[in-house]
């Protein structure tokens, strides 16, 4: 009678002999399946299961930590692509910039909007149901033909977005950062709607970027950072807000700054706990609802 074989093999690779057991499930594993553990070795499946139970590190506001500001890079890419598109087809600017209400005359010129306009005039802007302008305007910039400030407009905005985004996105996490950016952009357009000439056309990422600046300040105070450099930065931001009154839309800058600040306060000061994410989401939804309702009521009053 032949003796029974005592050769043991890896549970994942039956052709390979193995004499080492996983310290967790006690199955035999080969060198390719071994993963070092605090004691002995574990198999691939046990390591994967263990990783699921490990609590992931979070940012100060509860977002997932991300060292690479992917959302910032995507936003910059979208702005650049939109800019290239408007260079190729300038009509994009007139169609998607922020305009509350104006009339396009039969001669191709723009006129102040008024109810009961002649049939040969065409209404444009939010009063014509073009609600997408509230967001699309934040991805457009002045054309290169608009004097010295034309090309400088997008260059300055993208540099500011690159600088602030790399600081703020890791603080908030990707989803919260994107939500703050878009809500700030919407807030910028709504302030334009209320404070600027309804026929005035405005565009640019500045409003959303001002929202990031406000978030940077709020979160920095929340974590107890050295505020000297940050206060100087905010002073520069407010100075630019004043200077912009003679160059671009200060109304949009102010709207983005205040809206971003409100959202950032909701992010930073909601107490930790199982309902923190829900409360933050409700706060963002509330800000969004207020902005949308305000815009709808204002546009209804223009008609």
pLDDT at position 246: 55
| Residue 235: CATH number of its domain | 1.20.1540.10
- Buried b or exposed e, range 207-229, using 16+ CB within 10 angstroms: bbbbbbbbbbbbbbebeeeeeee
User: Do residues 253 and 206 lie in contact, with contact meaning Cβ atoms separated by under 8 Å?
Assistant: yes
Whether 41 and 189 share a structural domain: no
The residue segments making up the domain with residue 2 are 1-49
Residue 172 near residue 219, CB atoms below 8 Å: yes
Strand spans (E) along the chain: 20-21, 28-29, 35-36, 41-42, 102-104, 110-112, 122-124
Q: What is the pLDDT of residues 208-244, one digit of tens each?
A: 999 999 999 999 888 777 778 778 877 877 777 666 5
pLDDT band, very low/low/confident/very high, at 47 (cuts 50, 70, 90): confident
Q: pLDDT class for 134, splitting at 50, 70, 90?
A: very high
DSSP lists the bridge partners of residue 43 as none
Please, which residues have CB within 8 angstroms of residue 247's CB and are 6 or more apart in sequence? 149
Rounded distance between C-alpha atoms, residue 161 and residue 204, angstroms = 12
Average pLDDT value for residue range 105-127: 89
Q: Please check the confidence at residue 100 and state whether its pLDDT lies above 70.
A: yes
Dig out the tokens for 50 from the structure.
């263990």
Single pTM value for the model: 0.79
Half-sphere exposure of 122 (CA within 13 A, CB side): 8
Pair 67, 174: CB distance under 8 Å:
no
Counting the structural domains of the chain, the total is 2
Residues 211 and 295 in one domain: yes
Question: Hey, what are 215's tokens?
Answer: 């978030």
């Amino acid at each position: 009678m032949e003796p029974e074989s005592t050769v043991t093999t890896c549970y994942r690779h039956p052709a390979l002999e193995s004499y080492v057991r996983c310290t967790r499930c006690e199955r035999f594993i080969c060198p390719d399946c071994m993963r070092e553990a605090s004691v002995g070795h574990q198999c691939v499946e046990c390591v994967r299961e263990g990783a699921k139970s490990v609590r992931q590190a979070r940012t100060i506001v509860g977002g997932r930590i991300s060292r690479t500001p992917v959302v910032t890079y995507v936003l910059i890419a979208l702005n650049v692509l939109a800019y290239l598109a408007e260079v190729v087809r300038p009509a994009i600017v007139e169609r998607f910039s922020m305009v509350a209400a104006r009339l396009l005359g039969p001669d191709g010129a723009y006129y102040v909007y008024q109810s009961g306009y002649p049939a040969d005039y065409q209404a444009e802007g939010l009063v014509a149901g073009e609600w997408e302008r509230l967001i699309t305007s934040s991805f457009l910039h002045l054309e290169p033909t608009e004097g010295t400030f034309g090309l400088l407009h997008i260059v300055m905005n993208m540099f500011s977005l690159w600088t602030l985004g790399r600081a703020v996105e890791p603080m908030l996490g990707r989803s919260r950062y994107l939500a703050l950016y878009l809500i700030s952009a919407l807030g910028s357009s709504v302030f334009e709607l209320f404070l600027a000439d309804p026929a005035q056309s405005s565009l640019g990422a500045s409003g959303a970027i001002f929202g990031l600046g406000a978030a940077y300040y709020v979160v920095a105070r929340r974590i107890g950072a050295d505020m000297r450099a940050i206060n100087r930065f905010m002073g520069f931001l407010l100075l630019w807000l004043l200077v912009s009154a003679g160059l671009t839309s200060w109304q949009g800058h102010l709207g983005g700054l205040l809206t971003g600040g409100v959202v950032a306060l909701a992010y930073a000061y909601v107490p930790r706990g199982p309902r923190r994410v829900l409360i933050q989401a409700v706060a963002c939804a509330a800000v969004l609802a207020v902005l949308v309702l305000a815009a709808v009521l204002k546009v209804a009053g223009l008609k």
